Amino acid sequence: MVLVGVEIKETEVSDEDFEEMKGFVRDYLAASVESEDDGGRMRWYPWHSASYRFNHILNVVDLATEIAEAEGADVDVVRVAAVFHDVAKLEAEQDVHAEAGARVTREYLQSRGNYPESFIEEVCGAVVDH
């Protein structure tokens, strides 16, 4: 929302909350791999291990945050979307991993903190569209 050139943010994500989000995503990726009986896609694509994917996510968070700051975007929306953008990458097929990731993101944000629906919608929209 903008009033006379001043942005009023509905939501702020604390550093502590963001660290919890990163931990959730790291653990979710690890659990996705551990739950595969036969190694699943990890057998064929070992470079897409949970640690590889999480490192990729952290790199995306850094780059996306830098771009958001430079462009005047909502840094909280961008950081949260970036950390969740590939959360379902190791459990869902490539063509639906973004939608699956948005579902995980929505469940996380609705069950933790007091995030307004408008914030959740923006974040989930960015996850789907990434």
Q: What is the CATH number of the domain that holds 51?
A: 1.10.3210.10
For residue 19 the two structure tokens come to 């660290």
Whether 44 is covered by a domain: the verdict is yes
Which residue in 96, 66, 93 sits closest to 82, CA to CA?
66
Instruction: Provide φ and ψ at 85, rounded to 5°.
Output: -60, -30
Inter-CA distances, 42 with 1, 6, 8, 17, 51, Å: 44, 48, 44, 30, 12
Average pLDDT across the chain, whole number: 86
- Please check whether residue 12 lies inside any domain of the structure: no
Q: Report yes or no: 83 and 22 within 8 Å, Cβ to Cβ.
A: yes
How many domains would you assign to the chain?
A: 1
Among the ranges given (2-6, 12-16, 63-67), the one the predictor scored with the smallest mean pLDDT = 2-6
Residue 11 lies in a domain: no
Question: What are the backbone dihedrals phi and psi of residue 2, each rounded to the nearest 5 degrees, phi first?
Answer: -125, 130
Report how far Cα 21 is from the mean position of its chain's Cα atoms.
Answer: 8
90 — pLDDT class (breaks 50, 70, 90): confident
Least confident of 17-26, 59-68, 91-100: 91-100
Residue 58 lies in a domain: yes
In a domain, 107, yes or no: yes
Task: Assess if residue 104 is contained within a domain.
Answer: yes
* 85 within some domain: yes
Write the pLDDT tens digit of every residue in 17-54.
Answer: 999 999 999 999 999 877 655 555 554 555 568 888 99
Q: Which domain holds residue 32?
A: 21-129
Q: Please answer whether residues 18 and 79 qualify as being in contact, where contact means their C-beta atoms are separated by less than 8 angstroms.
A: yes
pLDDT of residue 7: 47
| 1 domain-assigned | no
